[in-house]
Structure 1
Amino acid sequence: MTSRAAITTAPQDNPPWQAHWLAETIRLREEHWGPLEDADAVRQARNGPGALEDRILVRAQWLGRREGLDQLIGRWRQGAIISLLLLLLIAVVAGIGSAAGALGDGTRPVNVLWAVGALLGLHALTFLLWLLSFLLRPAHTTGLGRIWLWATRKFARGPDAALVPQALMNLQARAGALRGLFGTISHTLWLAGLAAALITLLIMLSTASYRFVWATTLLQPDTFVFLTRALGWLPAQLGFAVPADDIVRASDNSQVLPATAQAQWSVWLIGVIVVYGVLPRLIAWLLCLMQTIRAQRRIHIDPALPGYATLRDRLLPAVQSSGIDRPVDPLHQPQIGAGRTIESGALEALGTHPLLVSLELPSDIPWPPGDLPAGIYNAGNLDSREQRNRLQDALAQSHTPRLLIACDARQTPDRGTLGLIASLTDKAAQTRVWLYTNDEPSSTSHRTQTWRERLTEAGMAPAAIVQNSDQPLRWLETGDD
């Protein structure tokens, strides 16, 4: 059973948009399969922030932990990272292969135009399609981002697995971040491939000798002079040299050129890859990343969405009892040990005091114990729904360090009792269950073992299940075993 301390501190480690992601996942689940039982989650939300959006997020946090959806989102994120890393590896290998294929093994001349086409052709085509995609709706965007989403879904398993990516896409689409998200991923992969190709070019050109030529049947040499100048003008502004016109005309594979001429072609080729390949992808990646980050800040809860609209009356009730409009009900008001009483309307009086509570103890068992220390609050014997709700409201507003729940060891634990214990356990830093008997007769040993088995199956540590001989009141008072 999860302690309240773990539940209240964990969400602070996650970015705000992940809390909205969890809320959207729960909204879709309830839309598909009906509302979840959320009495305790609603109680926690109503004791939290006053805004409806914040209360919806608190409710989603509690339901997500109970239903395991937060862990499902965590596993989906791990799968997303793994699929992205695999795609990055493929992009790097493809970049290395394209560079090696463009230059060859050095035994044959390198056709400069074919080399440029092999290194930048597919990149230029997809980059142009990405620019044209701005004329389309974001839902029609294509590219490596969609491939990443498809690959990520292959890692998801389970009946709720399909809800997680659908919730993420819904969230990003409403915030206007879908195009930026896919664009960031797509440009990341292209940038990795082009960077790998560039590094491979530098290594191969630095460690081997290559001869660059152009070849044509129809075009004139001056055409290649023009193409070389046109492609080399922008790189030249960044310091990449352009081969001289006479070197371009002489590179027709009819004569052997000096090494300096081949070096000029090498610098020109590198400059073309940097300026028309790496830099556009880098700029596009930065723009998409900034657009995604800005869009994440616009993520919010839309109360008009199906599933959220019905929560308004429950999370923001028009009339909510303050607890001071009527006298204390002596039959149902939680009591404090040693003659002290929790005043009506002051449930927060629990504060940081240790708390003792019993669940439906029969009248033949004397309660509370006569040796109850004065510093311990006694919430009484819970035997009605009203008492249980009042105590859970009180615990939700307090910071109870230790909670001791006494149960009749002679009774067989049922599902309702175990559920109540689990709900109370979530609201204290430490909780123990006291299998209470007046004299611990041997006839209760079998049912005591049943209690231990059921509580252990529910997630309670064996050491947190105690009996009279374990002196539970001493632990409740001091925290020492």
Structure 2
Amino acid sequence: MSVRPPSLSQSPAAPDAVDAAARASFHARWLAEVVRRHEEAHGALPDEAELTAARRAPPRFEDRLLARARLLAAREGWDADLARLARRLRVGAAAALVAAFVVGWAAGAAVLGDGGRAVNVVWALGGVLGAHLVGLLVWLGAVAFGLRRGQGGGAWLARAGRAAANLLDHGARAGPAAAALFGLLGRGGGLPWAAGLLNHLLWAAALGGAAGSMLLLFATRRYGFVWETTILPVGLFVELGSALGRLPAALGFPVPDSTALAAAGVPASAVGDGAAGRGWAGWLIGCVLLYGVLPRLLLAGLCAALLRRAVAAVRLDEDQPGHAALRARLLPDSERLGIHDADHSGAPPRAPAAPAGGEGALALALELGDDLDWPPPFGAGDIASAADPRCAPRRLDSREQRQAWLAAVRARPPQRLLVAVDARQTPDRGSLGTLVELAACAGCLRVWTLPGSAAGRLAQWRTALAERDLATADRAVLTDADAARRWLETGA
């Protein structure tokens, strides 16, 4: 499963490939939301191996969040849970469509009756299309109101979606997975379009069922057709029937001519024989299909396109507490400093001889991860000028802090300088070059690797420091906190 959206530099892909990439990207973000919600509710998961693997992704925070979530979800079994929930939601939607078709079939049969009495065409058409028309107007009004207000009823739609998901899947993990799914859709603006797509498909199935039952009954029973009124002018029904029949007639449906339209309104008569009866049957079925099923299918296609666009635009909310807490671990300070590549310019620069003299002791942190405690509870000597606030944390994370501390130690060289580094990170030219510059300003320098000998890249640090004469008698590598404290305080 891909955890990154397709590159913009790739050649245009086929529509099905683009849709597959969008679905994979959304699925990855769904996994990340599940992981975030779980960790916010139950605490952080153990993730050292997953974190190390995620740092190999491009240095974009969301890319690394997705990579970490994918690995954790595979380990915890959430990927299979999400696939099961998605499958059950599809099965539930298919069952709802079948139920809608059956209800529509029954409604179509009900409005026609058993053929023992004439079919009132006004009541028959109103009975099949009336509720559809009211529902369509309500939906259009809700969409217009939501667009004008910049909202889409996401909150109650999300609650309804979670309730439906809980009915379909009673597993302990179904609730959080559904909450993550509908929360992500709501944030991306796709939830109203997903609800609209299902709504229109259900109506299309119901109206299709009604048209199917009417066609079957017209083929197997003889019906008479009338329209009746007491207070309305007769011409109104003739004009209405003629207007509604124009589109079905244009598409090949048989419709009643003006004579049959007028004859159906004659008291105590029912048109049901010959061409007139076939015309009324075609008129009813054509109106149901063209004014009921067709608009719903067109609107379902529109909702599907808007949903696809919303899903492709979904991004994680990186300011959520569960995500924000991972920023320092997924984007270490050493990467934010800006130098990551190896030095290909030849032999690495070596530290010059230590200067004579100097006084006091100083402990600094070079690109240390925020999850490591700093400053230590010892050796708080601070030689920097209080006028420069960049020196206050005794950290060298940014270029500004590095420049400020280099100026401070050049102005007042310390006798003993302890520099703590994050040995979980690969040593790069930026950090090693800074150590070389600091070594030129201190009588003795020690590099303290945190979190100590358990760090995965300690051997790389030792090798790189030795190549730059930073692992000699006066410039040793320390891995123990007690040894670092003892050397900083006593020089032993």
Q: Do the two structures share a fold, i.e. TM-score over 0.5?
A: yes
**Match for residue 68 of structure 1?**
77
The TM-score normalised by the length of structure 2 is 0.61
1:290-345: per-residue Cα shift (whole Å, max 9, x none)? 11111121122332232222222111112169899999xxxxxxxxxxxxxxxx97
**Match for residue 272 of structure 1?**
287
**Match for residue 241 of structure 2?**
228
Name stretches of at least 5 consecutive residues in structure 2 with no aligned partner: 4-19, 351-424, 428-450, 461-492
For residue 204 of structure 1, report the CA deviation from its aligned partner. 2.0
Q: Which residue identity is paired with 2:199?
A: S
Q: How many residues align?
A: 334
* Partner Cα distance (1:94, 1:214) in 2: 26
Which structure: larger Rg?
2
Deviates more, 1:91-100 or 1:48-57: 48-57
* Partner Cα distance (2:277, 2:453) in 1: 89
* Partner Cα distance (1:44, 1:388) in 2: 15
Tell me if structure 1 keeps the 8 A contact 2:22–2:312.
Answer: no
For residue 223 of structure 1, report the CA deviation from its aligned partner. 2.5
Q: Which residue identity is paired with 2:268?
A: S
The TM-score normalised by the length of structure 1 is 0.62
**Match for residue 400 of structure 1?**
none
1:381-427: per-residue Cα shift (whole Å, max 9, x none)? xxx98457459x9xxxxxxxxxxxxxxxxxxxxxxxxxxxxxxxxxx
For residue 234 of structure 1, report the CA deviation from its aligned partner. 3.6
Q: Which residue identity is paired with 2:277?
A: Q
1:239-258: per-residue Cα shift (whole Å, max 9, x none)? 44542233222213523543
**Match for residue 203 of structure 2?**
190
For residue 58 of structure 1, report the CA deviation from its aligned partner. 0.6
**Match for residue 150 of structure 1?**
163
**How has the CA–CA distance of structure 1 residues 195 and 386 changed in structure 2, closer, same or farther, with 3 Å as cutoff?**
farther
Report runs of 4+ in structure 1 exceeding 6 Å deviation: 11-14, 141-148, 321-327
Tell me if structure 1 keeps the 8 A contact 2:143–2:152.
Answer: no
Query: Does residue 1:165 correspond to 2:178, yes or no?
Result: yes
For residue 148 of structure 1, report the CA deviation from its aligned partner. 6.2
Tell me if structure 1 keeps the 8 A contact 2:118–2:224.
Answer: yes
Corresponding residue to 2:192 among 169, 179, 183: 179
1:243-295: per-residue Cα shift (whole Å, max 9, x none)? 22332222135235432111111111112112210111011001000111111
Q: Higher RCO, 1 or 2 (CA under 8 Å, sep at least 6)?
A: 1
* Partner Cα distance (1:128, 1:89) in 2: 24
**How has the CA–CA distance of structure 1 residues 260 and 237 changed in structure 2, closer, same or farther, with 3 Å as cutoff?**
closer
For residue 206 of structure 1, report the CA deviation from its aligned partner. 2.1
**Match for residue 200 of structure 1?**
213
Tell me if structure 2 keeps the 8 A contact 1:133–1:141.
Answer: no
For residue 203 of structure 1, report the CA deviation from its aligned partner. 2.1
Corresponding residue to 2:129 among 120, 131, 134: 120
**How has the CA–CA distance of structure 1 residues 12 and 102 changed in structure 2, closer, same or farther, with 3 Å as cutoff?**
closer
Q: Which residue identity is paired with 1:74?
A: A
* Partner Cα distance (1:145, 1:29) in 2: 18
Instruction: Describe the SS at the equivalent of 1:307.
Output: helix
**How has the CA–CA distance of structure 1 residues 229 and 157 changed in structure 2, closer, same or farther, with 3 Å as cutoff?**
same
Name stretches of at least 5 consecutive residues in structure 1 with no aligned partner: 328-343, 347-383, 394-481
Query: Does residue 1:50 correspond to 2:59, yes or no?
Result: yes
**Match for residue 255 of structure 1?**
269
Query: Does residue 1:303 correspond to 2:318, yes or no?
Result: yes
**How has the CA–CA distance of structure 1 residues 194 and 326 changed in structure 2, closer, same or farther, with 3 Å as cutoff?**
farther
1:183-220: per-residue Cα shift (whole Å, max 9, x none)? 11111111111122222222222222211111233333
Instruction: Describe the SS at the equivalent of 1:319.
Output: helix
* Partner Cα distance (1:274, 1:141) in 2: 32
Pairwise mapping of residues 325-344 of structure 1 onto structure 2 (< 5 A)? none
* Partner Cα distance (2:252, 2:158) in 1: 34
Corresponding residue to 2:43 among 15, 21, 34: 34
* Partner Cα distance (1:270, 1:181) in 2: 29
Pairwise mapping of residues 333-372 of structure 1 onto structure 2 (< 5 A)? none
Tell me if structure 2 keeps the 8 A contact 1:183–1:288.
Answer: yes
Tell me if structure 2 keeps the 8 A contact 1:84–1:148.
Answer: no
**Match for residue 376 of structure 1?**
none
For residue 112 of structure 1, report the CA deviation from its aligned partner. 0.5
